[in-house]
Structure 1
Amino acid sequence: MSDDSARTWVEAEWQDSLDEELEMEIDDHLIAKELAFISDLKHKSDLDRTTYFHELLRLQAELVKLQDWVQHTGQKLVVVFEGRDAAGKGGVIKRITQRLNPRVARVVALPAPTEREKSQWYFQRYVPHLPAAGEMVLFDRSWYNRSGVERVMEFATEDQVEAFFNDVSEFERMLVRSGIVLVKYWFSITDQEQQLRFLMRIHDPLKQWKLSPMDLESRKRWEDYTKAKEETLERTNIPEAPWFIVEGNDKKKARLNCINHLLSMMPYEDVPHDPIHLPERVFNPDYERKVLPDELYVPQKF
């Protein structure tokens, strides 16, 4: 392969990386006709797209370095993402894991507990998902369901909530004493911003799956969620695992700020790697590749 061909190929691969992010972003700009009358309410970021993409790719490159360091040193990292529905937790988790090895960086988003799980020690169903050495685990919602949605929606009694508050800080101290680094983020958005994002989900068929009956009910209980949030932050902000609030009205800034902060929390360094050499392909002049039946191939429609 000539130098010019190699350069063209590398440029094409880089463009594919940009396109991958663009595909994830483009639906943010598709406002349904039904929402034209509230388009002026949409939060307009003063962060231009070029700067956003440049910084995101730079930070994602650093996340790869963090991943290598975690794997090399046997570190154990847990990152908890909490906040209101539609606050942007899923968006930042996607950008964090987008270029990482899923065997190293795992996302845990547990469904509602089964009847059996309801009878267990509350933290029991989260424990199997904790990291082993060399792993990063990102909880898309966590054990804080108890002081949040379960409390507000009355799935948990006040006694159960109080027991949670009495236990959770010691549970987290146990995790830290075991060698786990625990980082907790709370994504915060305004009432108006959540309303807009819910309306977008209602009218955008690509996002309707994100909207559950629980989300709709949460809109009515905004103030209850606010009270639950305030008590949670007050009673569970411990030195071993403090809370960090991410301002989420501007999605792009929230993603960059959260990733940048997460990187700043870890003393990662470049990990030395042995040079990689692509071995020569073994060529057998007597081998003839078989012709496979046409019906085995995916139709070339594009």
Structure 2
Amino acid sequence: MTIDHASADPTMVEMIRREILDSYDEEMELGFEDDRLDSLEGGSESGLDRRRYFRDLLHLQHELVRLQDWVQHKKLRVVVLFEGRDSAGKGGVIKRITQRLNPRVCRVVALPAPSERERTQWYFQRYVTHLPAGGEIVLFDRSWYNRAGVERVMGFCSEAEVEEFFRSVPEFERMLVRSGIILLKYWFSITDEEQALRFHMRITDPLKQWKLSPMDVESRRRWEDYTRAKEDMLARTHIPEAPWWVVEAVDKKRARLNCISHLLEQIPYETVEHPPVHLPERVRHADYLRTPTPPEMLVPSRY
């Protein structure tokens, strides 16, 4: 949108300015959350300049909007899997990807533990129901690879079920790709020391303690078991049709930028031209009188 400042209503210009700043503040608020965690005892600042981070992130989010338009225009079906250890930063990058996108086009799937009924189904069945239709992007915050990770390490499935998963998942993913789905798989990699630091931050921060479940605490004890499971998973499910991409995620800000940039490179897209939008004149009726809102219905103005 361009504004002719010479002829524009000053009130309207100020309203537009406030709206734009409010939009940018969404990311600033998330940034302050990161800064607050970094400022806790033991925290560490990212090596990436904040000004450059916000500038590059906004640029990448603009490109994500262009990608969204292209996915809708071409009726593409996109699935992105985000895997990694607890506190590896999957949620942070998902927030930044979806922040400025249409939730009707780009949605997040984060499934809870399977119900008793779901445990008796074909393993992939509950994930299939969330796959995209034409013109949709689905981001899986953890996925069917739970079987190769937490379920295997914590003993929620048998080794026979794990082996069946490894036999089935390459064919399952090849079938998805043959059907026209664009499938991307990201593993967020952090060090032992970095996970310990982030867990301690969550323990210290009352606004983050809810993120630390008993399962997370137990996973910390079983670091080496998870490492062996992860290495086996990557080796046995890294296929040409759906390869794994490893994101170095010790530096959260760099990880977000690198992942989003890489995602954009995997799907060729172009600018979709949209017809200009013109607001019509509002219809006004001489007999219309707006009814005042009863005072008892108003939310108190405390701020």
Q: Give me the TM-score of the superposition, normalised by structure 2.
A: 0.95
Partner secondary structure for residue 26 of structure 2: helix
How many Å separate the matches in 2 of 1:68 and 1:257? 22
How does 1:144-163 map onto structure 2 within 5 Å? 144-163=145-164
Name the residue aligned to 2:23.
17
Q: CA deviation at 1:225?
A: 0.5
**Aligned letter for 1:134?**
G
Shift of 1:121: 0.5
Return closer, same or farther for 1:31/1:62 CA change in 2, 3 Å cut-off: closer
Separation in 2 of the partners of 1:83 and 1:93? Answer: 13
The 1:113/1:62 distance shift into structure 2, 3 A limit, reads same
Cα pair 2:187 2:246 within 8 Å, conserved? yes
Work out the CA distance in 2 between the residues paired with 1:149 and 1:15. 42
SS at match of 1:138: strand
Aligned length: 297
Corresponding residue for residue 211 of structure 1: 212
SS where residue 60 of structure 1 aligns?
Answer: helix
In structure 1, the partner of 2:294 is 293
Matched AA of 2:299: V
Counterpart AA for 1:26: F
Deviation at 1:4, TM superposition (A): 4.5
Which 10-residue stretch deviates more, 287-296 or 95-104? Answer: 287-296
Deviation at 1:291, TM superposition (A): 1.6
Alignment check: 8 A CA contact 1:32 1:204 kept: no
> Which residue is 2:113 aligned to?
112
Which residue identity does 2:154 align to in structure 1? M
Which deviates more from structure 2 when the two are superposed, residues 290-299 or residues 207-216?
290-299
Q: Output the aligned Cα RMSD.
A: 1.4
| Whole-angstrom distance in 2 between the partners of 1:5 and 1:264 | 41
2: distance between equivalents of 1:161 and 1:3? Answer: 66
Cα deviation for residue 16 of structure 1 reads 1.1
Determine the C-alpha separation between the residues in 2 that align with 1:195 and 1:43. Answer: 13
* Aligned 8 A contact 1:66 1:269 in 2: yes
Q: Which residue of 2 aligns with 1:78?
A: 79
Structure 1 residue 6, shift from structure 2 partner: 4.3
Q: Distance in 2 between matches of 1:257 and 1:161?
A: 31
Give 2:57's aligned residue: 56
Measured in 2, the distance between the counterparts of 1:55 and 1:76 equals 26
TM-score, length of structure 1 as denominator length: 0.95
Residue 259 of structure 1 is matched in structure 2 by 260
2:130 maps to: 129
SS of aligned partner of 1:289: coil
Summarize the Cα distance change of 1:44–1:32 in structure 2 as closer, same or farther, 3 Å threshold: closer
Output the CA distance in 1 between the equivalents of 2:72 and 2:38: 44
Q: Which amino acid aligns with 1:89?
A: K
- State the SS of the aligned residue for 1:30: helix
Offset of residue 3 of structure 1: 5.5
AA partner of residue 96 (structure 2):
R
Shift, 1:25, TM fit: 1.9
Preserved contact between residue 38 and residue 45 of structure 2 (Cα < 8 Å): no
- Does residue 164 in structure 1 map to residue 165 in structure 2? yes
Letter in 1 for 2:29: E
- 8 Å contact kept, 1:86–1:197: yes
The superposition leaves residues 180-214 of structure 1 with CA deviations (integer Å, 9 ceiling, x where unpaired) of: 00000000000111011111111111111111100
Residues 38 and 44, structure 2, Cα contact 8 Å, conserved in 1: no
The CA deviation at 1:45 is 1.7
| Partner Cα distance (1:291, 1:159) in 2 | 68
Give unpaired runs (5+ residues) of structure 2: 1-6
Q: Distance in 2 between matches of 1:77 and 1:209?
A: 31
Superposed CA offset, 1:203-253 (max 9, x none): 111111111100000000000000011010000000110000000000000
| Residue 2 in structure 1 maps to residue 8 in structure 2 | yes
Distance 1:50 1:7 in 2: 25
Cα 1:258/1:218, change in 2 over 3 Å: same
Counterpart-to-counterpart distance in 1, 2:223 and 2:119: 26
- Residue 204 of structure 1 aligns with an amino acid whose one-letter code is D
- Contact in 2 for aligned 1:188/1:248 (Cα 8 Å): yes
- Give the aligned residue type for 2:246: I
SS in 2 for 1:245: strand
